[in-house]
Amino acid sequence: MSSQLDALRDHTTVVADTGDFEAMKALRPTDATTNPSLILKAVQQDAYRPLLEKTAREHRGASTAELMDRLLVAFGRAILDIVPGRVSTEVDARLSFDTRATIERARGLIALYEAAGIPRERVLIKIASTWEGIQAARALQSEGIRCNLTLLFSLPQAVACADAHAQLISPFVGRIYDWHKKSAGASWVEGDNAGAQDPGVLSVTRIYRYYKHFGIATEIMGASFRNVGQILALSGCDLLTISPDLLNKLAGTQGDAPAQLRAGDAKGDIARIGADEVTFRTLLNEDAMASEKLSEGIRLFVADAVKLDALIEAQRA
């Protein structure tokens, strides 16, 4: 019998959610995703600090922002030497509410990749799923720059991303689960909220069915998993991006991973949701979980970006 990881690959594209090259080599994902927190964690390890040192040394006259982007691209290039597919590289989260600045930084990242001989088809630019970020993605997609809309917690966000023709969205399973568990407090019953009934799984399932029902081409990549059960409950999703710890658990467990999501099952009476700004902001505001987790996620990524800035500045001293 094959491992659950191999079985999962029969239904879903497996993506590594890490900046750890050695983990990627061992686990053989198709794609890889990074974010400021993962890169910060990586450059503090002896194995990856030379990438930071080399970037700072070779571009001494560059601004901190440029050095950060060059560092992200250095990681991305190394990752693309390992994975056969694509890498996601994130625009600075401090620009999450600035459409024009996000577009400019994304263009800069793609230019650095192309200067290194990496075709833009192998790169996904990660942008937070704010209204401003989604409009930046709309413009970038029209230029052939493919976008991964991240920090996504609700169907209205997913609908707006699809309207912008985003290449891919990353709905966060684990953070939705975290919010509902904390909100429920002592009344939370784990067994009643596991597998297909997990709040994060239910959210991604709803998005999947909406997209497939209306023939939306934007790819869905479940992200931010807390346990193997969440992953197995979303087998059949277009892509799943998974941490090395959970990938290792799947690889070390024999068993099947039958498809739980099937495009043919997206039937029934599904109402369309508007993709205009007023509808987006109204529905997002009415969803306490999505509003809070989006704001919190941006704050956390900004905090790690500031820490990464400090490491870069220390190298320039």
Residue 35: Cβ within 10 Å count: 25
- DSSP for 213-248, please give it: HTT---EEEEB--SSHHHHHHTTTSSEEEE-HHHHH
Residue 149's H or E segment, with its range, is strand 147-152
Q: In 166-227, which ranges are continuous DSSP H helix?
A: 173-184, 199-213
Select from 168, 153, 259, 242 the least CA-distant residue to 206. Answer: 153
Task: Let me know if 126 is a catalytic residue.
Answer: yes
Tokens of residue 243, six digits: 């941490």
Using an 8 Å Cβ cutoff, are 251 and 27 in contact? Answer: yes
Candidates 126, 182, 249, 293; catalytic one: 126
Q: How far apart are CA 120 and CA 135, in angstroms?
A: 20
Which amino acid appears at position 99 of this protein? T
Active site residues: 126
